[in-house]
Structure 1
Amino acid sequence: MQRLVEKTLLIDDSDIDLFIQRRFLEVYNFSVDLYLYKSAEEALKWLETLASEEVPDIIFLDLNMPEYDGFTFLRQFKELPAHVQSKARIVVLTSSNSSKDREQAFTFSNVIQFITKPLKQTDIDDLKKII
């Protein structure tokens, strides 16, 4: 079965959520390569170092994290090199069901989807249509 994208980055401070999301994406053959970060700050540092061909196609981003939350990540993402910003699309994957969070997330141009955890098959189907 063909994968939907080449590279995917998961950012979530919860080991359990990272495990569940990773397994779900593996089962549904979402991506060839999966990268996991528990820290949005560390993920940003990693993204800064990447050449164009290494940039993930999709970033699944949790909003509710200590220190660097998802919105801090989104603000800092706009400072990354142009080749990162032009390639990576962001899916907010969060426990928040706040309409305010949803509206604020979509003010960032790279955000293509807002999903409330847990990730479901219908979410992947919707993403296929967007991608």
Structure 2
Amino acid sequence: MPRLVDKTVLIDDSDIDLFIQRRFLEVYDFSNELLLYKSADEALNWLKTINIDQAPDIIFLDLNMPEVDGFSFLKNFKELPDSIRSKTKIVVLTSSNSAKDRSQAFTYPNVIQFITKPLKQSDIEDLKKLINHNEFTGQANP
């Protein structure tokens, strides 16, 4: 069975959440390659050094992290080269179920989905629909 995307990045400060999310995505054959980052700052530093061929297709981003939180990541992501931003889409995967957080996340054009943890099969099915119906180039509805 072919994978849904080539490269996925998980950004979460929790080892347990990273482990669970990674295993879940592996079980559902989501991605050919999974990269894990425990801080948004580390992920941003990596993104600043790569070229378009190395850019991830999807980033799963936690909002509630120490130092650089998910919203700071999103603000800094806007400063990355167009080539990276045009390829990479962001899925907010957070423990927050705040309508304000959801609304704010969708103000960033690369955010295509907002998921409240834990990641579920239905979330993957929704993402598959977004990706397979070429809605990938537009913004999902909040």
TM norm. shorter chain > 0.5: yes
Partner residue in 2 for 1:99:
99
Partner residue in 1 for 2:81:
81
Partner residue in 1 for 2:137:
none
Partner residue in 1 for 2:38:
38
Partner residue in 1 for 2:139:
none
Task: Establish whether residue 23 from structure 1 lines up as the match of residue 23 from structure 2.
Answer: yes
- Residue 66 of structure 1 deviates from its aligned partner by 0.3
Aligned length: 131
Q: Counterparts of 1:112-123 in structure 2 under 5 Å?
A: 112-123=112-123
Partner residue in 2 for 1:108:
108
TM-score, structure 2 normalization: 0.92
Partner residue in 2 for 1:49:
49
* Distance in 1 between residues matched to 2:37 and 2:64, nearest whole Å: 14
- Residue 7 of structure 1 deviates from its aligned partner by 0.1
Moved over 6 A (4+): none
Identity of aligned residues (%): 75
Partner residue in 2 for 1:68:
68
Partner residue in 2 for 1:5:
5
Letter in 2 for 1:88: T
Partner residue in 2 for 1:90:
90
